[in-house]
Amino acid sequence: MIEALNQMTGGQAPTAIAVATLIVTYVLAVTIRNSRKRRERASWGPRIGNYVGIIAQSWLYLVAVLVIVGCLVLRRPGDTFAAALHDMGLHAQLPPTDVAVWSMAMVAAATLLSSAVTYLRNALGGRPSVAGLDILPETPAETAVFSLLVAPTAGICEEVVYRGFLVGQLWILTNNPWLAAAIGSLFFGLAHLYQGWWGVFRTGVIGFVFAVGLIMTGSLIPSIIAHTLANMLGAAFRKPAAPQPAA
């Protein structure tokens, strides 16, 4: 199939596949976004309906990135997809003890920095965005879906996309891991613009913490675990449910 596509595109099969992947990803992402109101009206409730869309989009972006990684491999003679995933930090070579230590250290750092940003925001008169608060669960069912599905999905997909792929590619381009981590964290923060500029700042800082873990260990596993646990903590410390009007 690749050879046939190469003949059709003058040897540009990887580029053609990558472009087609981006187009399909965009169309599907728009479709998922446009179906949000229909999902929110479903019997499971508005937040869970929103969570379904978040999960679908996250895995969609992950698949798109993996396809693009495969296209890059096709352009590098002698390279393999497995080697590319290893270079992104997707391997199990880090000792379990190191995985546990780094995961817990990043959770602690992310929690402390998130609290510091929240304190600074409140001190300067800032407020959390409505969209940022609305994504946090309130009911037991929402908490279960968020903790068991949304948190690990974000941990896996966002770490592979933003740290493994984006920071990895920036590292190659800049030849400086810390600059790559800073730029990648900026993009990660901007991806959370719906949470307002304080949300961009907070997620960017936390993203840098996870990037440090990748740089120092060469593995994405601690960052994935830390990201997942940090999201679960966010659900555990959710805002209280609004009081219901009297019947």
Of 87, 112, 145, which one is at a domain's C-terminal end? 87
- Verify that 79 and 135 share a domain, yes or no: no
Tokens of 94: 């880090």
Q: Are 219 and 99 in contact (CB under 8 A)?
A: yes
Q: Cα angle at 229 between 213 and 170, to 5 degrees?
A: 35
Report how far apart, in Å, the C-alpha atoms of 215 and of each of 32, 89, 105, 132 are. 34, 9, 14, 29
pLDDT confidence of residue 13: 66
Mean local confidence (pLDDT), 73-98: 92
**80-89, 95-104, 231-240: least confident range:** 231-240
pLDDT confidence of residue 1: 56
Mean local confidence (pLDDT), 228-244: 70
Rounded to an integer, what distance in angstroms lies between the CA atom of residue 93 and that of residue 222?
12
Mean local confidence (pLDDT), 99-104: 98
pLDDT confidence of residue 186: 97
Tokens of 85: 């995933």
Using the predicted structure, report yes or no on whether residue 146 has a pLDDT greater than 60.
Answer: yes
**What is the number of structural domains in the chain?**
2
Using the predicted structure, report yes or no on whether residue 237 has a pLDDT greater than 80.
Answer: no
C-alpha closest to that of 235 among 151, 130, 117: 151
End-to-end CA separation in angstroms for the chain: 64
Domain housing 245: 93-247
Residue 74: pLDDT band (50, 70, 90) is: confident
- Verify that 226 and 152 share a domain, yes or no: yes
Report how far apart, in Å, the C-alpha atoms of 21 and of each of 16, 24, 29, 77 are. 8, 5, 12, 22
- Verify that 43 and 153 share a domain, yes or no: no
pTM for this predicted structure: 0.88
The amino acid present at 144, given as its one-letter code, is A
